[in-house]
Structure 1
């Protein structure tokens, strides 16, 4: 007995954290990840150290002010320098962190330091990282379904003297899978015989007033342009803005597919040689021989609606096929922050960023969520509308709806970054008479377990929660940030993948479609000397913006083996305030 006690004491002593160190993050590994082995000492980890923002909360308050239509400062977006003044760290913080790194033989990569100085980059071996971070248990983890491997720890520590300076160290505890919001592919005709005939049917309608081009079995760009009233709009100030499409997970956008798509679906754009640009971040390669269904959908859905507005596909590396050796850094898969940090460095930011990806909120460490959400706010403050897909599994994928804190508590599964209060989140609809919440899959919607209901939507959300009564009590957080904010068609879009016409569904389709419509509204604003739309949520929830949307009252966010939240009159966590009608939206915002 005494031996057992002595052994336990010895084990505790060995694992004890030095008094000068403090646990910075401790997480449960998501259930779908399995620890395979201890990480080799000589593998190189490219870590990023996020320093606390000196005035980060002030920046978020400033955004809510300049984004509200009743504010005297409405639409007066900030410059890069103004935003950086909020994001820069406290004086002396960066130097203190650099000295700590140097004490462990690690040097900062000065070329990668952010303009605001709030991100420091440093590559180090696993052995150095363990010593630096309180003997952190870096291990090789493998995803049960995909077989993807990465090196992570579930806990790390920093010196007590630096704790107040450091927000997080990325590349440590984030296991996020970064799922795209795309629901299945169905092959259509390899050459649509009516491709050019469709163009002759512009503005024709059936007996119910629905564009004759619109069919539930295949949704064309012409249908969407007619249905949402953009078909007759001509871009007035093409170079006044640019739009960004986020590309993750080795989803590559193919120029030949884009050209083929335009040739039948938007021949005026094809004739003019309209194309998208490509920018690589962190080594993205956008391989033109590997067409990605998600990437092609994003650029084609946007370009088909918003022809002549410049669009850039940002290929963010995050999970290439990987076999670790001492010369090859382990991929950290930090796609959101990598892209947003990159964009914030630029003098001119996109008017819209369309992102069709997300994670289950509970799988994303809180520190990383806060950092990404602040970057979303920072881009919003510079006049960018940050669009995110709400997801394709309603309130959660059946059979998976349990907490990952070790208690396995039944719960709905909100999505991030959709749940960030500074995101503009997009759900999906189907059909035309009437248009309803999509039911070939179920549009993501719900309430954050992390982010409280923001002031701009509190009255609206409280009214919806009251209408539910005790329904789903205990399965969701009625005081959380609620989403989506709006929606659009998301079923069976006609696109081209690898030279073949295909049908794609998902909130991945709805999001770039909304981006295209909002880009046209931006064009009207810019032509009249106004600023870009930027963060539109305060306007939507003020009672003003919703007048430009068509209310959707049929359907639900089915999931977690339940019927899910129901759509109803006004806002709901299925389709938000509804779908955009271009002429009405323009009358509200222009």
Structure 2
């Protein structure tokens, strides 16, 4: 089986330029392919060309003059014992670190000028690594990118996007552009189940995650449920009183029309943490993101209610981000905004994911690089690992010979090495893996060095089981796992139960935010990128999960075993042990 193995660093490293002394003499029509789909992606249908006069906004990501510098800096500022540990970079320092060579920027502008893109429509951001083209006629975008933008509709949700099945770049530029968006990344619109839940909020219904990707929550009919008091007792946070609320902030990312309700939050606290009834949040709307508190959704309420219940009185920001519409891309819109901030929340919870195999490699590498920029600035970014075990459905793919075989389907951005992936558990005495906990190995990103002492032993014990179903050299997910079953929430002033890694992710984010509170309260830097710590100094503060599995793809999936495994990662968090570790620094 063939996997798309590559090194993030080598893919992002620019090659030498030639002929830049006379860039205007270049043959701009010498086009090299950047990415192409063989057919319309699953669950999409072609609606034909966009209306005459339609425009599109394009984001062009240029590679840094030395991309290794970003990852090197991220590891150094995140590693205990390193002289730079905790010396997180400012917005300006990151922009300087990721800036492209000046001649590449000059070349890109010459290319745009050749195709009649007016300079007034071009904005240069993030040290020149990001060019935003506003209001480009679709006909010109087609010429610029050797593309064929058309309208596509998601079957079942009627979401419509403007995308192309392929695009290319001039030979002189193709190795110096990381990604252009939106192009071939179709995103993840709401599933039919989410639409149903939005229309009939407050009802207790089952929700499963469709192949197109969506938030990872499933409503449950079970009578037993998890509340903040249980989580605070079980993960041992109840005795800690935050004292850095004037500096520590927790962010929750929302997409796809998800937003919370302050009334539901107040009622939730009345019922489940009465001393926190004053909990609130600020709303930041990005790129047309909406906010209607009279129509809250499960995902947003769940995240705000549980991060608030654990981290209270830490201030919260809820980001309502537009995108994944006719033109946009939600992740890129959100990252563009937060990377431009002078100050970013120290902890960010994001309970969204999509199968890695459904997105272009260049897009994944670009977005992953942007998350690394957040990490080097001192932000702990947590993503849910998904709710489909090792994958949804039969997971059959066709190889180059036309033969079909199984390929497990881990989720992105969870597979990005520069975020922390959160799986799911259930029960206590013992805590075991939740059967839906997403996990596996990336086909895009190689195993990062911080996993080299944890993952190989699992693979040795696994032996030849599922040989060719996964990439043994890939980044393993998840990193940690926490309770994810039967969470009690309030939706439209009514109580419901819900489960999924959308529950475990805000729980983990709340606990990490408390650890950041302690660090800030003693005048130290926040934890920032967590994984070097988790696979190193924090290991003794984790609860190993050794039973359960994550079936999927018509298989039994992987099994939780002693040590790291692709079901529960390194295990769950013990706040008091982790706090003790921090006091010894």
TM-score (norm 2): 0.87
SS state at 1:409 partner: strand
248, 255, 280: which is aligned to 2:285?
280
In the aligned structure 2, how far is the partner of 1:462 from the partner of 1:507?
A: 25
Q: Does the 8 Å contact 2:288/2:321 carry over to 1? A: yes
Classify the secondary structure of the residue corresponding to 2:34.
strand
Q: Which runs of 5+ in 2 are unaligned?
A: 1-26, 190-212
Matched, 1:307 2:312: yes
Q: Which residue of 1 aligns with 2:366?
A: 371
* Residue 96 to residue 18, structure 1, CA distance change in 2 (3 Å): closer
Q: How far did 1:557 drift?
A: 1.6
Contact kept? 2:389, 2:557, Cα under 8 Å? yes
Contact kept, 8 Å, 1:30 with 1:404, in 2: the verdict is no
Give the conservation status (yes or no) of the 8 Å contact 2:48–2:152: yes
Does residue 1:518 correspond to 2:518, yes or no?
no
Equivalent residue for 1:341, pick from 336, 359, 363: 336
- Look up the SS of the partner of 1:449 in the other structure: strand
Q: Is the 8 A contact 2:324 2:330 kept in 1?
A: no
**CA shift digits 1:147-185 (9 cap, x unpaired):** 222111111122223324322210111012163343322
Q: Which residue of 1 aligns with 2:15?
A: none
Residue number in structure 2 paired with 1:212: none
- Aligned partner of 1:157 in structure 2 is 168
Output the aligned Cα RMSD. Answer: 2.0
> Deviation of residue 78 (structure 1)?
1.4
How much does 1:66 deviate? 2.0
SS of alignment partner, residue 339 of structure 1:
helix
- How far residue 403 of structure 1 moved from its aligned partner, in angstroms, is 5.5
Cα 1:353–1:407, aligned 2, differ >3 Å: closer, same or farther? farther
Deviations 1:175-197 (A, max 9, x none): 12163343322479xxxxxxxxx
Aligned mates of 1:533, 1:474 — CA distance in 2: 37
C-alpha spacing 1:79/1:365, structure 2 compared with 1 (3 Å): same
Cα displacement (A) at 1:19:
5.2
Please, which moves more after superposition, 385-394 or 408-417?
408-417
Specify which of 20, 24, 27 is matched with residue 34 of structure 2.
Answer: 24
Which region of structure 1 is more displaced relative to structure 2, 92-101 or 525-534? Answer: 92-101
Per-residue Cα deviation, 1:91-140 (whole angstroms, up to 9, x for no partner): 14334333433333323566854232211111212111112222x12122
Give a deviation string over 1:370-427, Cα, whole Å, max 9, x none.
1111111111011111101000000001334436987643110111110011111100
Deviation (angstroms), 1:35: 2.1
Q: Which of 353, 359, 362 is the aligned partner of 2:357? A: 362
1:54-453 equivalence runs, <5 A: 54-107=65-118, 113-122=124-133, 123-134=135-146, 136-177=147-188, 179-186=213-220, 217-270=224-277, 273-319=278-324, 330-332=326-328, 334-402=329-397, 408-439=404-435, 442-453=436-447
Residue 275 of structure 1: CA displacement? 0.4
Whole-angstrom distance in 2 between the partners of 1:531 and 1:564: 39
Change (3 A) 1:404 1:431: farther
Q: Work out whether residues 252 and 292 of structure 1, in 8 Å CA contact, stay in contact via their aligned partners in 2.
A: yes
Residue 459 of structure 1: SS of its match in structure 2?
Answer: coil
Q: What residue in structure 1 maps to residue 561 of structure 2?
A: 568
Given that 1:279 and 1:313 are in contact with CA atoms closer than 8 Å, whether structure 2 keeps it comes out as yes
Aligned equivalents of 2:139, 2:154: Cα separation in 1: 24
- How far apart, in 1, do the equivalents of 2:428 and 2:225 lie? 12
Correspondence list, 1:406-555, <5 A: 408-439=404-435, 442-542=436-536, 544-555=537-548
Gaps of 5+ in 1: 1-16, 189-215, 321-329
- Rounded Cα–Cα distance in structure 1 between residues aligned with 2:264 and 2:398: 41
Establish whether residue 581 from structure 1 lines up as the match of residue 574 from structure 2.
yes
- 3-state SS, counterpart of residue 251 of structure 2: strand
Distance 1:251 1:533 in 2: 28
Provide, for residues 190-222 of structure 1, a one-character-per-residue CA deviation record: whole Å limited to 9, x for no partner. Answer: xxxxxxxxxxxxxxxxxxxxxxxxxx8111111
For residues 43 and 89 of structure 2, the distance between their equivalents in structure 1, rounded to whole angstroms, comes to 41
Residue among 543, 549, 557 paired with 2:550? 557
Paired with 2:564 and 2:107, the residues of 1 have a C-alpha distance of 48
Asked whether the 8 Å contact 2:28–2:170 carries over to 1, the reply is no
Counterparts of 2:381 and 2:232, CA distance in 1? 22
Contact 1:187–1:501, Cα closer than 8 Å, also in 2 = no
Cα–Cα, structure 1 residues 109 and 230, in superposed 2: closer, same or farther, change >3 Å?
farther
Closer, same or farther in 2 for the Cα pair 1:552/1:152, shift >3 Å?
A: same
Q: Quick check: 275-284 or 90-99, which moved more?
A: 90-99
Aligned counterparts of 1:48 and 1:401: Cα–Cα separation in 2: 33
Change (3 A) 1:247 1:92: same
Indicate the larger mover: 396-405 or 243-252: 396-405
Check whether the contact 1:41–1:125 (CA below 8 A) recurs between aligned residues: no
Q: Distance in 1 between matches of 2:464 and 2:412?
A: 25
Question: Cα gap change, 1:404/1:171 in structure 2, threshold over 3 Å: closer, same or farther?
Answer: farther
Structure 1 counterpart of 2:13: none
Residue 243 of structure 1 contacts residue 311 of structure 1 at CA under 8 Å; is this kept in 2? yes
Over residues 37-58 of structure 1, what are the superposed CA-to-partner deviations in whole Å (9 max), with x where a residue is unaligned?
2333422111111112222221
